[in-house]
Amino acid sequence: MEWLGHAKTTFTHSPHPLALTKKDGTSTDLVSICREATPPCRLNPLLFNGHLQTMWTAIKNDGPPIHYKRKLFENEDPNFKGSFAVDFVVPPFSETDESLPPRTVNFTEEEFENIGSLDTRPMLVTLHGLSGGSYEIYLRQVLAPLVTVGGDREWAACVVNSRGCAMHKITSNVLYNARATWDCRQMVKWLRKTFPNRPLYGIGYSLGANILTNYIAEEGSSCMLRAAVIVSSPWNLDAGNRALQRTWIGREIYSKTMGANMKKLIDLHYDAVSKGSKLDFAKIRQAKYLHEFDREVQGPTWGYPSEGAYYRDASSVDSLFAVRIPLFGISAKDDPIAQDEALPYEEMKQTKYGVLCTTTLGGHLSWFEVGGTRWHARPAVNFLNTMAFEVELDAPGNVIGNGLSKGEDTGDTRFQPMNRKWAP
């Protein structure tokens, strides 16, 4: 417990951080940018630990009103057949659609045909947390100050919803998991083609943060995103799973709740998921905790012999070594879900491309301040604005357009962090 909600903030990073040049010609580095982007962490003193912070998310308020128009995409890779829903931030409108989340309607065919643009606004690609969606308050609090600022510092943005989430109807038996980078990858390629002049950035939350880190690492030096923010990532899923099972509250509150949410997702989309499926739905219905759900769903679906094998293969902690764009991680040390022991402290010290900011208070995707705002939105927004408008990423010596770093020392190549076990 910190005095009156005043959390301590710590930065973990390489002793040789990524050198960058600002547009005014001055030199800086990734650590300096992350530190300057991070204001003091002053949280609601009544929510004085991670459990209270995290559980307060169940107290719903409307949050900033972000409006979306949705488009369904069919994945082009036959290994990952099925549709996924992408919600694009648009100006406010008055229409409603009861079949979609609040303030969300579908694009008309004519609207979507004309969506392409040659403008140079930065665009943010967002991935939400487990069983969430574009409606989540934690992500709207980041989007709001970016997309409503107006003028030449206004952003465009979209949210890639995981399959079956945010009232999207699953169309195949291919679900999503912690390595489900395929829909994100197709979306980034589509955005690059449709908005050729827009610099692309990413932000991921919780499970979406793990997916986004894996995607960035899989792309390596060819990543089309210029920088990314990783919020409340579980990083090491195996360590996190063991930590959840170790305590009563971790097992009976958090793991049980997340398991129930995923079972509801399966039940809701049973008709599509069950076609040609290897799943034993009787065992899935008997599952009580998240690790039991993963044992009965992720194992048979993707060929993992155990949930532990899945967690180790899907974790993004080692993926960090393959990241080749600036990455800013934000986590709370009292997070009861993405726990402190699973955070990549030693890994962050070994890569110049990442900085991890940890706060002693904040919980999971929470960081509630007095008044209900969430602190994580401020460092995330500040970092993204700095990278988009103040840093010259195309300058010599900086990270250039396709994600390569000039003069980069690749070091010992015997360890290949993305040489994963699972393959389509």
What single-letter DSSP state applies at residue 289? S
Q: Nearest to residue 211, comparing CAs of 178, 174, 175?
A: 178
364 is catalytic: yes
What 3-state DSSP class applies to 241? helix
- What is the dihedral angle through the alpha carbons of 401, 407, 411, 416, rounded to the nearest 10 degrees? 20
State how far the Cα of 183 lies from the Cα of 27, in Å rounded to an integer.
Answer: 37
Q: Which of 315, 364, 366, 376 is catalytic?
A: 364
Q: Is 411 exposed, middle or buried (0-12, 13-18, 19+ CB in 10 A)?
A: exposed
State how far the Cα of 293 lies from the Cα of 255, in Å rounded to an integer.
Answer: 10
Whole-Å CA distances, 259 to 141, 143, 144: 26, 28, 31
Q: Which of 206, 233, 315, 366 is catalytic?
A: 206
Largest Cα separation within the chain, whole Å, is 63
162 is catalytic: no
End-to-end CA separation in angstroms for the chain:
46
The pair of structure tokens assigned to 217 is 């690492």
27 is catalytic: no
Q: Name the residues annotated as catalytic.
A: 206, 335, 364
